[in-house]
Amino acid sequence: MEKSDNLEVIVEKIIEKVGPQLVMGIPLGAGKPNPLVNAIYQKVKSNQNLSLTILTALTLQKPGENSFIEKRFFGPLNKRVFGNYPELEYAVDRDKNKVPTNIKIIEFYYPPGKLLNNSYAQRNYLSTNYTHAVRDILDRGVNLICQQVAKREVEGDTLYSLSCNTDITVDIINGAHQRGMSITVVGQVNQQLPFMYGESILTSTHFDLMLDDPTLEFKVFGPPKMSVTAADYLIGFHSSTLVKDDGEIQIGIGSLGDALVYALCLRHEENDRYMDYLRRLDISPQVFPVLKKFGDFGHFHRGLFAATEMFVDSFIFLFQAKILKKKVYDHVVIQRLLNSGELDEDFNPGIIDLLIREKAIGTILSRKDFEFLKEFGIFRQSLKWVDNKILLEDGTSIGPNLLDNMLTIKSRCLGSKLRNGAVSHAGFFLGPNSFYKYLKDLPIATRKLIRMKQISKINHLYGHEEIDRLQRKNGRFINNCMKVMLNGAACSDALENNKQVSGVGGQYNFVAMAHELPDARSILQLRSTRTNSKGKVESNIVLQYGNCTVPRHLRDIVVTEYGIADLRGKTDEEVAIELIQIADSRFQSQLMAKAKKTGKLPYSYKLDERFKNNFPWKIKMFIEAEQEKGFFSPFPFGTDFTDEEIKIGKALKYLKKIKGSKIGFLFFLLGSFFYKVDSQKFVGLLRRMELQNPKAFKEKLMKKILLNAFEKSSS
């Protein structure tokens, strides 16, 4: 590995090694080495003899500061939250439709909704499952990998951690070597990254070049947490009843994930209150029969294990609440014995007999047996293997024949607790600044409980099925979706007109996996309605939709704020009924009529009275009443937004909503000029927007509009 602190030198060496046609893979999310990527981009941009293809996903950008209001609102926020995070210049050019002809940007996952109206991005979206991304990147001829890494000195050796992006980098490198492809691997050190363990750890031999310049280090991208709505909370509450103690969990990103975690923490820490909420909300096995077999409402005694492509920041609150505490071990025999209850983490000397019985070790110890026993803490770490014997700390040797030396080995060699367990396997992570700080501040032994792994070891069972089946007991794969059809198919990534909203990611993989594990369930969380661009409310449960992410034959559980629909093993008629029951009541008659017209419901069908009161105002009243008691905060786990920014943000959302109606917006504008609002009431918000003493006409106009928005949104 060649190491340099000179960015220009590294770029020249890359071109020297790779040649004039660069096909660069960079990690999704926060693992991109922005200064290095920008330097390569500018080099190719200025030289038509070079070409560059960028293969990546989830390009992160600070909120835009294009309009007057955006500059006033996001300017101070961006400086405070994102600090010296350098914008990716290829993304800036793509936004402006100025990508050079010798450069191509291909992504397989977009920030949700960010690039809906960007023609370049829409044309260059690559639809692929997360587990197939490696194959597709290799097929496109990747010859360069660039990634930021953390580093640490361990016993005189420098180790590098892929940190937030262990997901597909190693698989790409290994895949290229297996295909006989030449690939150059370049790292950029950024010590602001948490140093993570597991398969994240690489040595210098894995890299061809390393850029190590502390002046180029930058703040890891940390998006602020968004607010949790009343509907989100009810979706989280329903989903929480499906999570079993002594189980496994995957959680999606965003406010729906936060709502679920909040409900799980309440269930564990204040179970009486949790049960009272379930009673008042009528969430029970009598209403939702799936809870009889697959539900759970009690404390987490054994706890949960997480096998998740993305370790969302919400997981740390499960960890702190001692819910995410179930350790798994990457050894079939040990995990099987733990599952059966024959073995505990705090083991006794009988563990040796169990391991012999299960043929995990031989009666004559080999070096391999010895290393296995040390790896999992069964033998003490201070023991050594010398001349085919166990060497104790005092210099005494014990022969390898277990039958002859069993009493001595049991009394003098054993540890007391299993080691190298993990409470989570994760491919990548992304979260607010507080999340990264929490990970960095964790003691190393605790941080190792969050084991980073390749996506190929997380998102499917192939190649490691036996251990995964043992570790993913009572699996609950919980994801978010946008639309669900009355036949049970779901849309999660694109619109009916083929515009790409985000990406498939790993959703399909986890849904399929839930059908392969005997006690697992896939749970798709869905807000029952949305407000479209014209300000009109529409149902997210529909007869049919022109895009499908999860096909109907993989239908399983769908959860809205109004309940739980169990679709697995059901007929089309039963599926339609289950979904209509959890739809918003403003759309149930319409859905029933469509289903009857297409022959999926009999004309005699009538909706059960229990499900005819699915109205948002009922949910809102319930949540607001509990908020007055200190529960269900809009930001249950904190946020980087200040109190003033939260109020301003609420007003800006209000403005965006009313813009959908031309007449409504016109009346709003007229009201802004003719109805006087007490500016002293909102002086702090005006000061934050630098509009307390406007001088220019534009500023005076914006002050009037914002004051009206503050008044309307606060009431």
Identify the band that residue 405 occupies on the pLDDT scale cut at 50, 70 and 90: very high
Coil, helix or strand at residue 198: strand
Burial class (CB in 10 A: 0-12, 13-18, 19+), 382: exposed
Check residue 329 and give left, alpha or beta (phi > 0: left; psi -120 to 50: alpha): beta
pLDDT tens digits for range 357-386: 999 999 999 999 999 999 999 999 999 999
Nearest to 149 by CA among 170, 130, 176: 170
pLDDT tens digits for range 318-357: 999 999 999 999 999 999 999 999 999 999 999 999 999 9
Burial class (CB in 10 A: 0-12, 13-18, 19+), 394: exposed
Lowest mean pLDDT among 224-238, 625-639, 693-707: 693-707
Alpha-carbon span 541 to 200, nearest angstrom: 41
Mean pLDDT computed over 223-236: 96
Higher pLDDT, 658 or 682: 682
Question: Residue 175's pLDDT is what?
Answer: 97
Sign of CA dihedral 186, 192, 195, 200: negative
Alpha-carbon span 112 to 690, nearest angstrom: 30
Nearest to 611 by CA among 627, 594, 591, 628: 591
Residue 676 has pLDDT above 90, yes or no: no
pLDDT tens digits for range 132-189: 999 999 999 999 999 999 999 988 899 999 999 999 999 999 999 999 999 999 999 9
The two structure tokens encoding residue 428: 């990548």
pLDDT tens digits for range 187-208: 999 999 999 999 999 999 999 9
pLDDT tens digits for range 282-305: 999 999 999 999 999 999 999 999
Phi, psi of 57, deg, nearest 5: -160, 160
Q: Tell me what percent of the residues of the chain surpass a pLDDT of 90.
A: 90
Question: Residue 678's pLDDT is what?
Answer: 81
Residues 555 and 568 sit within 8 Å (Cβ to Cβ): yes
Residues 140 and 104 sit within 8 Å (Cβ to Cβ): no
Question: Residue 67's pLDDT is what?
Answer: 87
Helix axes 68-82, 643-658, angle to 10 degrees: 140
pLDDT tens digits for range 557-579: 999 999 999 999 999 999 999 99
Helix axes 255-269, 230-240, angle to 10 degrees: 50
Question: Residue 155's pLDDT is what?
Answer: 81
Question: Residue 673's pLDDT is what?
Answer: 80
CATH H superfamily, domain 230-327+424-611: Acetyl-CoA hydrolase/transferase C-terminal domain (3.40.1080.20)
Q: Which residue has the tokens 């398969």?
A: 199
Residue 16 has pLDDT above 80, yes or no: yes
Burial class (CB in 10 A: 0-12, 13-18, 19+), 602: exposed
Residue 117 has pLDDT above 90, yes or no: yes
- Give me the architecture of the 2-216 domain, per CATH: 3-Layer(aba) Sandwich (3.40)
Q: Which residue has the tokens 């965003």?
A: 254
Residues 637 and 317 sit within 8 Å (Cβ to Cβ): yes
Q: How many C-beta atoms surround the C-beta of residue 308 within 10 A? A: 25
Mean pLDDT computed over 695-702: 89
DSSP H helical ranges for 529-676: 572-581, 585-597, 616-627, 643-658, 662-674
H or E element, residue 537: strand 537-539
The two structure tokens encoding residue 202: 């690489």
Question: Residue 610's pLDDT is what?
Answer: 95
Rg (CA), the chain: 28
Question: Residue 13's pLDDT is what?
Answer: 98
Question: Residue 511's pLDDT is what?
Answer: 97
Mean pLDDT computed over 496-517: 96
The two structure tokens encoding residue 517: 């594990």
Residues 385 and 351 sit within 8 Å (Cβ to Cβ): no
Nearest to 263 by CA among 286, 284, 238: 238
Alpha-carbon span 121 to 40, nearest angstrom: 20
Question: Residue 213's pLDDT is what?
Answer: 97
Question: Residue 672's pLDDT is what?
Answer: 83
pLDDT tens digits for range 443-472: 999 999 999 999 999 999 999 999 999 999
**What are the distances in angstroms from CA 586 to CA 229, 590, 612?**
20, 8, 9
Whole-model pTM? 0.95
Q: Which residue has the tokens 């026993």?
A: 373
Residue 634 CA, distance from chain mean position: 20
Question: Residue 154's pLDDT is what?
Answer: 84
Q: How many C-beta atoms surround the C-beta of residue 176 within 10 A? A: 22
Question: Residue 253's pLDDT is what?
Answer: 86
Question: CA geometry: angle at 501 spanning 651 and 456, to 5°?
Answer: 125
Alpha-carbon span 211 to 231, nearest angstrom: 47
Lowest mean pLDDT among 394-403, 500-509, 648-657: 648-657
Question: Residue 255's pLDDT is what?
Answer: 95
Helix axes 68-82, 697-714, angle to 10 degrees: 70
Question: Residue 257's pLDDT is what?
Answer: 96
Coil, helix or strand at residue 333: helix
Alpha-carbon span 388 to 400, nearest angstrom: 7
Alpha-carbon span 661 to 633, nearest angstrom: 30
Common-topology check for domains 2-216 and 230-327+424-611:
yes
Q: What beta strand segments (E) does 41-196 contain?
A: 51-56, 103-107, 144-154, 157-161, 184-189
Q: Which residue has the tokens 């339609």?
A: 576
Identify the band that residue 660 occupies on the pLDDT scale cut at 50, 70 and 90: confident
Structural domain spans, the chain: 2-216, 230-327+424-611, 332-412, 643-714
Question: Residue 668's pLDDT is what?
Answer: 86
Number of alpha carbons in the 13 Å side-chain half-sphere of residue 569 = 3
Residues 279 and 622 sit within 8 Å (Cβ to Cβ): no
